[in-house]
Structure 1
Amino acid sequence: MVYWKKERDVEIYSPPGHEGTFNRRLVGPAEGIENLEVIIGEMEPGGLADPHFHKDMEQIMYILEGKMHIVINEKEAVLSKGDVIWIPKMAMHEVKNIGESLLRFVLMYSPQKVKG
């Protein structure tokens, strides 16, 4: 078994309920990791994630570059490079790239969003 990979080699997908968003699942069930999933997300200027919540999953986001407007349970913030966001189970949240460049971030889910 290999214990590493290059981001550029990971397949890109667009999650449902998101516009202008492209993710790469770096680590998860396919790598034998049972309780955590790590994703690199990219959102084009004006891209967004519609309001939603995760019933059984916690989420952490770490911004690598760009400018994000986020709403979590009706609390709003504008965040950028180096900022971290945590979203508890059942917390209604939405995200929008309000910058003029790509919004890039690390997503961590526990347990994993996708099993398999």
Structure 2
Amino acid sequence: MAKAYVKNVYDCPAAQPARHLNAHAWCMANPVMMDSDSFNFFSICEIRFGGAAILDNHKNADHCYFILSGKGYSIINGKRYEYKPGDVMWIPGNSDHEMYPIGIETLRFLVTLTPKDFNQTEPFIRNIKEVSPVVPPKHNNSVAYPIVTPKNGGSNTIEFNVTEIRPGGYSEQDVNEDADRICFMISGSGYALCDGERLDFGPNDALYIPKGAKHEIYVEGEETLRMAVTYGPVRMAMRG
């Protein structure tokens, strides 16, 4: 049975991804780690000055990238797309794509890849500031930005948002029956109770919550907990 865990990105082995130059990736979730096949992987990738992700195609696996720092561009099916921090880049399956940094700063980004429940879509770039905030269900003193859902250009594979829980806020006990969940902590600290087990986390930690697990999340300290949240596959309530 799948079990919740916390992994810090720098506790994971660094590897150069296939078809990448001057780059490293730290995988924080894959089917073996999670005991689940809902994600091919979830990782952080860094492409340094002069590096690139050269031409590739992942067939029916969608990519959702969230840019943490640096700037860059991709060529997707012959069209150029540029991005900056706070942007999501959606690369649908069956798409030829390549990726390059702009300038000398390292391009650092989250990567979610999954083929589960694939349906063909179109590429797009969307910044968190372009998305209207919502109050997530069963959250207190919290706001979320639903950047990728099937209703705004994504597919049934990956649901992605940025959630902020302010000091004193928390998410009440909940169960996601139809999707695994990964939260990457951008800033702030806190802890989760997953099936009764306490899991502490801080910046650069990834929290994996398997579907069916009872979970709740609390902030510690005076800093807002800001996390990138991805579900695989998309929860039924978020589909069109």
Aligned to 1:70: 192
Aligned to 1:39: 161
Shift of 1:98: 1.3
State the distance in 1 between where 2:233 and 2:199 align: 26
Structure exhibiting the larger radius of gyration computed from Cα positions: 2
SS in 1 for 2:126: coil
Aligned to 2:208: 86
**Residue pairs, 1:1-116, within 5 angstroms:** 3-29=124-150, 30-113=152-235, 114-116=238-240
Shift of 1:56: 1.2
| Aligned alpha-carbon RMSD (Å) | 1.2
Q: Which aligned segments of 4 or more residues in structure 1 are displaced greater than 3 angstroms?
A: none
| Count of residue pairs the alignment pairs up | 116
Shift of 1:91: 0.4
Q: Work out which structure has the larger RCO, using CA pairs closer than 8 Å and 6 or more positions apart in sequence.
A: 1
Shift of 1:95: 0.1
Listed as ranges, the gaps of 5+ residues in structure 2 are 1-121
Listed as ranges, the gaps of 5+ residues in structure 1 are none
Shift of 1:2: 6.0
SS in 1 for 2:157: coil
Percent identity (aligned): 25
Aligned residue identity for 2:127: K
